[in-house]
């Protein structure tokens, strides 16, 4: 029997910011106190005291070795810097604020003559270096593109490769040179000092109760992330499909890989919705929901961008995983994927009461491209920008925002009740049935497995593209077709049980579909009855 977990001691801390620090407020039940100083690129210095109420927020304020109370180094971010001191005693964040190393911009006149000459000449040197590098890369790109077949040129000229070239070399899309931090990495610059803070406060996404990210992190997150690789054009989609103009990038944050989904300004409502959903899920994180790090507003190439930063998983989406499998899955791998997806959807669909609770939610855009495969073979549900709770169903759902291939009959023919959350949860079950079918077709039975095929591919003229609305209405609503269940499944007890459950998931009538809890129990029963499966069942 394992020893009881030691309780984290609670304490009181001072809470204030800038001018408020003359008369600070008091935060109770904290597990850690901090005080910080931040210098912006224009030389402005901000100070603050605060507290951390939840253990998972500690790394966002302090490095891992800081949990004992030591202070971190004075870290440079772009042209500014910040210094945070963390401690674990009552009111230990009183006293003087941390010192910031290096002279502020206003003290440059104190630097020696030679250093000033270097500072004056360095921008000119960097400017001419960027000009020559840009000309060289543009000429090289034109030469490389000219050797490609005509059918490939458009992909190279319009994909993420062009944006990597443009921003890594410091050139704007119209050809004018701009500053860049590195020829291999892209660092964002802040769109405004308190833009995100004001937006979040206006949207009531941070209550000060620990349900949202610390404001210090919100102001500086985009400055700390280096964008390295664009993923949305490569097919290895890490968080969602990269559709509707969104870009998916692999970035580096404090030495660790992260996934960055970038919305353009016209998709502000979807970015705000995903940020709000993640803030509701933060108090009770789940292994089968993609891990959330934070959101930020930033500017790149004179355009405002909206970021959602999450955990990065190198295996990519379930769609990419199934498509590129070297050999067929066995039963244990198949059940590992299906059970983890069911667990994630059960968590979303279920209302949890209490201080660590969450409202019941419907995903509304469930598909294999929005499910991420982790290193252990289990999955996590991603792309929560279409998620809905009962109190958010005031407007009719725009079905153009979700994938038509996975859309249920009642969504396609517009017969659903847009004010009822349960209707959307049943639509999720329909999509889940199609995803289970995709997974099971790649599972071996008696040494035989099928190649990957997207749902309804056998009836669509161009399966490489998203089907039209009219095509799916005819297939699903009028003809009531569903993907074919292979005959070989019927001789395999596990796949035969999966086939029976899948048919109940994608039933034409929404009320006849299985609830997610029943689906999980069925999966557990099938997995435990299979002698070839040895999974930890929770």
Q: SS3 letters for 36-63?
A: EEEECCCCCEEEEEEEECCHHHHHHHCC
- Sheet strands (E) in 222-328: 225-230, 247-253, 256-264, 292-300, 303-311
Rounded-to-10 torsion of CA 240, 245, 248, 251 = -150
SS3 310: strand
Residue 10 has pLDDT above 70, yes or no: yes
- Encode pLDDT of 60-103 as tens digits: 777 543 333 344 445 544 445 778 888 888 899 888 888 877 66
Known binding residues for ATP are 261
Q: Of the spans 104-108, 119-123, 366-370, 446-450, which averages the highest pLDDT?
A: 366-370
Of 460 and 431, the structure prediction assigns the larger pLDDT to 431
Cβ atoms of residues 251 and 226 within 8 Å:
yes
Total-model pTM: 0.63
Helix, strand, coil tally for the chain in percent (to 5):
40, 20, 40
- Identify the band that residue 291 occupies on the pLDDT scale cut at 50, 70 and 90: very high
Q: What residues are designated binding site?
A: 261
Percent of the chain clearing pLDDT 70 (strictly above): 72
Q: Are 430 and 502 in contact (CB under 8 A)?
A: no
């Amino acid at each position: 029997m394992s020893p009881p977990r030691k309780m984290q001691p609670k304490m009181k801390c001072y809470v204030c910011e800038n001018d408020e620090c003359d008369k600070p407020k008091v935060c109770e039940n904290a597990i850690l106190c901090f005080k910080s100083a931040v210098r912006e690129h224009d030389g402005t210095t901000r100070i603050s005291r605060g507290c951390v109420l939840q253990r998972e927020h500690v790394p966002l304020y302090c490095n891992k070795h800081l949990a004992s109370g030591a202070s971190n180094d004075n870290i440079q971010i772009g042209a500014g810097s910040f210094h945070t001191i963390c401690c674990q005693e009552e009111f230990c964040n009183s006293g003087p604020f941390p010192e910031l190393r290096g002279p502020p911009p206003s003290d440059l006149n104190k630097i020696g003559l030679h250093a000033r000459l270097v500072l004056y000449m360095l921008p000119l040197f960097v400017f001419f270096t960027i000009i020559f590098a840009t000309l060289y890369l543009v000429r090289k790109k034109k030469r490389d593109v000219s050797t490609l077949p005509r059918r490939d040129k458009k992909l190279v000229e319009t994909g993420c490769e062009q944006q990597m070239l443009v921003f890594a070399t410091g050139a704007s899309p119209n050809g004018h040179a701009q500053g860049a931090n590195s020829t291999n990495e892209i660092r964002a610059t802040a769109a405004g000092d308190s833009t995100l803070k004001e937006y979040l406060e206006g949207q009531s996404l941070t209550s000060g109760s620990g349900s949202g990210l610390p404001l210090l992190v919100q102001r500086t997150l985009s400055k700390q992330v280096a964008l390295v690789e664009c993923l949305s054009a490569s097919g290895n989609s890490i968080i969602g499909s990269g559709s509707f103009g969104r870009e998916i990038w692999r970035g580096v944050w404090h030495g660790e890989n992260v996934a960055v989904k970038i919305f353009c300004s016209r998709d502000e409502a979807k970015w705000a919705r995903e940020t709000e959903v993640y803030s509701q899920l933060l108090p009770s994180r789940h292994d089968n929901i993609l891990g959330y790090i934070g959101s930020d507003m930033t500017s790149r190439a004179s355009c405002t961008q909206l970021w959602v930063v999450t955990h990065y998983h190198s295996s990519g989406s379930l769609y990419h995983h199934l498509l590129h499998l070297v050999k067929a899955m066995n039963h244990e791998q198949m059940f590992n994927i299906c059970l983890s997806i069911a667990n994630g959807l059960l968590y979303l669909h279920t209302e949890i009461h209490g201080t660590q609770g969450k409202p019941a939610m419907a995903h509304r855009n469930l598909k294999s491209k929005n499910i991420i495969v982790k290193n252990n073979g289990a999955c996590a549900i991603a792309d929560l920008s279409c998620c809905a709770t009962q109190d958010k169903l005031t407007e009719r759902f725009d079905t153009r925002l979700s994938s038509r291939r996975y859309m249920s009959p009642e969504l396609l023919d517009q017969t659903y009740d847009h004010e009822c959350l349960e209707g959307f949860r049943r639509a999720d079950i329909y999509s889940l049935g199609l995803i289970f079918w995709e997974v099971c077709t790649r599972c071996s039975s008696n040494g035989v497995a099928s190649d990957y095929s997207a749902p309804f591919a056998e009836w669509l003229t161009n399966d490489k593209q998203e089907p039209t609305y009219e095509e799916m209405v005819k297939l699903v609503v009028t003809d009531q077709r569903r993907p074919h269940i292979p005959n070989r499944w019927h001789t395999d007890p596990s796949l035969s049980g999966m086939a029976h459950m899948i048919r109940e998931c994608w039933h034409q009538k929404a009320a006849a579909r299985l609830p997610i809890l029943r689906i999980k129990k069925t999966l557990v029963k099938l997995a435990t009855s299979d002698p070839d499966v040895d999974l930890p069942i929770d």
